[in-house]
Amino acid sequence: MSAVLVNDGRVLLAEAIKNRPSFLGLGTGLLTWGDQPPPPPASLLELVTPVGYKAAKQVSYVTPDETGEIVLPTGKYNYSETPTNYLYYKFDLDYADGGTSDLREWHVYVDAATELDLPVAQTWFTPEQMQVRGRLLLAERRKPMPFDPTVRAVFEFVVIF
């Protein structure tokens, strides 16, 4: 006998996570990774070399759609008013966020928390300003991406439950 996580259960997981505090963690990784960083292990908990954390600008339910307005390398999606098992995460980095580091790793954390005495409008946090890193939901490693403080960067992900 085997049990299967059914679609309704997957929607339930997305509903349980959607409104929780989410942050994008950015890191430089290791120089020894070169242009081909190793894939992140499933047991990974944190960035190897953290640079900072950005609060999510948007977390929304989406559905796959060939004519969707959200276009990502993994496909096209449209927003959904009803809960789905697809969560869209969007993080907008401001010009001063991230410094000038070559980024090799980015993570999405859920249930992260910052120090309490920080300005309410602040959305970029150094590792020292994070009180709780949160639970790692998604980890990605890529060839080095130079962060340019004269260009506004946007990171988008769709997590499928």
Sorted by where each begins, the domain ranges of the chain are 7-38+47-160
pLDDT of res. 95? 86
Percentage of the residues of the chain whose pLDDT score is greater than 70: 100
Q: Predicted confidence band at 57 (pLDDT cuts at 50, 70, 90)?
A: very high
CB 90 within 8 A of CB 56: yes
Residue 97 or residue 141, greater confidence: 141
| Ordered alpha helix ranges (H), 6-161 | 7-18
CATH architecture of 7-38+47-160: Sandwich (2.60)
CB 89 within 8 A of CB 156: yes
Q: Predicted confidence band at 134 (pLDDT cuts at 50, 70, 90)?
A: very high
Q: How far apart are CA 103 and CA 49, in angstroms?
A: 10
pLDDT of res. 58? 98
Mean pLDDT of 137-155: 91
